[in-house]
């Protein structure tokens, strides 16, 4: 293959770019995971990850991808034949639903057109009809990576409360954790699943599971089989900074450095930065005369923008041209959006100039692919970035 000078632009919505400081931390010599130095590190990261979830509740760290976190959430709280509410709102919501079925759970699904998140009103109505409280858990994806739609978790919590329903609220934060505001305690979430490879700026390999007192109580009577994913030994060991089996040791070095970076920038400033980049990207898309998949402004993602290519034009063909000509990877359309959508990831270790380069690559790719569009997307984005430069959270 021909050499591409300069850096590769990885603009998929995860895994994301890994800062040099984290790469160097991961490259440290391996420690004895039963020794005092690693135990100290374990206690530190288990404690410091809690503010990222905005919780005082326990957060467990499994050596897994986020999908493992999903399974952990289900098998520790539910029994065979239990009913869960899911939402056909995007590819990852569908995959969580599929897992629930494979584990022997009954699934009650609410469907959208994949351009909107779950409606709080429809959830309230469905729960109000469930007089006998057969629905034991609600499986909600906070940020749906496949279409750039962000669910309104706080509003959905209020809808559940209005229905006076006791179902557990489980939330996938895999592509929102560390990128968009998430409030585990305040929003009354019972289980939240996160992953290391997106907003936390690490390689894949760590699954985070935050649990409420209500979820812990449910785990005492749940009957689905569990071994690797069992919360009890994880929680029993974590109080001393230990783990019931070998953890992903070097990723813990990287996690500590990632938490350092988050603290140095400030979590609220990180959210402002992600919001600025998301809005600049959408302004570029609008200037090009293209359409985002997300049709509800209240549900725009801060992590990724999914964009339709015009009818008769291949999104995968566009992505191929951009990769070959400009060494930039964009996200593919998934599921029923395959070859209809390209996805621009703008999360993690990412700044204004990187976004400008990303959008420049997209605009040139649109021209080279003969996809009908207007010029001026980059200018529209830069105008927004300039106007918002230096904006920070109140001290």
Q: What is the 3-state secondary structure (H, E, C) of 262-289?
A: HHHHCHHHHHHHHHHHHHHHHHHHHHHC
pLDDT at 2: 78
pLDDT at 390: 79
Its pTM stands at 0.96
**Residue 167 in tokens:** 């179902």
- Tens digits of residue pLDDT in 343-383: 999 999 999 999 999 999 999 999 999 999 999 999 999 99
Residue 4 lies in a domain: no
pLDDT at 395: 66
> Per-residue pLDDT for 251 more than 80?
yes
Are residues 130 and 218 part of one domain? yes
Task: Check which CATH number belongs to the domain holding 307 and give it.
Answer: 3.90.1150.10
Task: Check which CATH number belongs to the domain holding 163 and give it.
Answer: 3.40.640.10
Are residues 370 and 231 part of one domain? no
Which of 239, 263, 287 is the C-terminal boundary of a domain?
Answer: 263
Mean pLDDT on 379-393 = 92
pLDDT at 126: 97
Are residues 66 and 156 part of one domain? yes
pLDDT at 239: 86
> Per-residue pLDDT for 93 more than 90?
yes
Q: Which domain holds residue 309?
A: 9-16+266-388
Are residues 144 and 107 part of one domain? yes
pLDDT at 250: 97
pLDDT at 271: 98
pLDDT at 391: 84
pLDDT at 117: 97
Are residues 131 and 279 part of one domain? no
Are residues 334 and 255 part of one domain? no
pLDDT at 264: 98
> Per-residue pLDDT for 38 more than 70?
yes
- Tens digits of residue pLDDT in 261-307: 999 999 999 999 999 999 999 999 999 999 999 999 999 999 999 99
Are residues 294 and 252 part of one domain? no
> Per-residue pLDDT for 1 more than 70?
no
**Residue 119 in tokens:** 């409606």
Which of 234, 263, 292 is the C-terminal boundary of a domain?
Answer: 263
- Tens digits of residue pLDDT in 315-329: 999 999 999 999 999
Q: How many domains does the chain have?
A: 2
Under 8 Å between Cβ of 384 and 276:
yes
Mean pLDDT on 146-159 = 98
> Per-residue pLDDT for 394 more than 80?
no
What is the residue-averaged pLDDT of the chain? 97
- Tens digits of residue pLDDT in 39-68: 999 999 999 999 999 999 999 999 999 999
Which of 246, 263, 280 is the C-terminal boundary of a domain?
Answer: 263
């Amino acid at each position: 293959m021909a050499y591409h000078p300069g850096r590769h632009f990885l603009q998929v919505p995860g895994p994301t770019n890994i800062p040099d400081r984290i790469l160097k931390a991961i490259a440290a010599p391996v420690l004895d995971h039963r020794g005092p130095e690693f135990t100290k590190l374990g206690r530190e990261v288990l404690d410091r990850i809690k503010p990222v979830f905005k919780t005082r509740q326990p957060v467990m760290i499994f050596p897994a991808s986020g999908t493992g976190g999903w399974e952990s959430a289900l098998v520790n709280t539910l029994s065979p034949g239990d009913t869960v509410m899911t939402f056909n709102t995007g590819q990852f919501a569908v995959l969580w639903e599929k897992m629930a079925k494979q584990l022997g759970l009954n699934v009650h699904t609410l469907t959208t057109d994949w351009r909107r998140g779950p409606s709080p009103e429809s959830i309230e109505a469905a729960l109000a009809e469930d007089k006998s409280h057969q629905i034991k858990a609600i499986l909600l994806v906070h940020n749906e990576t496949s279409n750039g739609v962000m669910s309104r978790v706080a509003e959905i919590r209020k809808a559940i409360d209005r229905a006076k329903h006791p179902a557990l609220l489980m939330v996938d934060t895999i592509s929102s954790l560390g990128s968009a505001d998430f409030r585990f305690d305040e929003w009354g979430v019972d289980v939240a699943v996160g992953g290391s490879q997106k907003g936390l700026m690490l390689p894949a390999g760590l699954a985070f599971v935050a649990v409420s007192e209500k979820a812990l109580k449910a785990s005492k009577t749940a009957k689905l089989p569990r071994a690797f994913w069992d919360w009890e030994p994880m929680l029993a060991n974590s109080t001393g900074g230990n783990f019931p089996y070998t953890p992903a040791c070097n990723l813990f070095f990287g996690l500590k450095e990632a938490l350092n970076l988050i603290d140095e920038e400030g979590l609220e400033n990180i959210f402002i930065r992600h919001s600025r980049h998301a809005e600049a990207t959408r302004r570029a898309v609008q200037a090009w005369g293209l359409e985002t998949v997300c049709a509800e402004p209240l549900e725009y993602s801060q992590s990724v923008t999914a964009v339709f290519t015009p009818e008769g034009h291949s999104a995968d063909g566009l992505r191929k041209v951009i990769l070959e000509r400009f060494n930039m990877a964009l996200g593919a359309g998934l599921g029923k959006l395959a070859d209809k959508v390209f996805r621009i990831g703008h999360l993690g270790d990412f700044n204004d100039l990187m976004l400008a380069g990303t959008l420049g690559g997209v605009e040139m790719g649109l021209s080279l692919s003969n996809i009908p569009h207007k010029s001026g997307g980059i200018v529209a984005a830069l105008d927004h970035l300039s106007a918002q430069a230096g904006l920070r959270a109140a001290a």
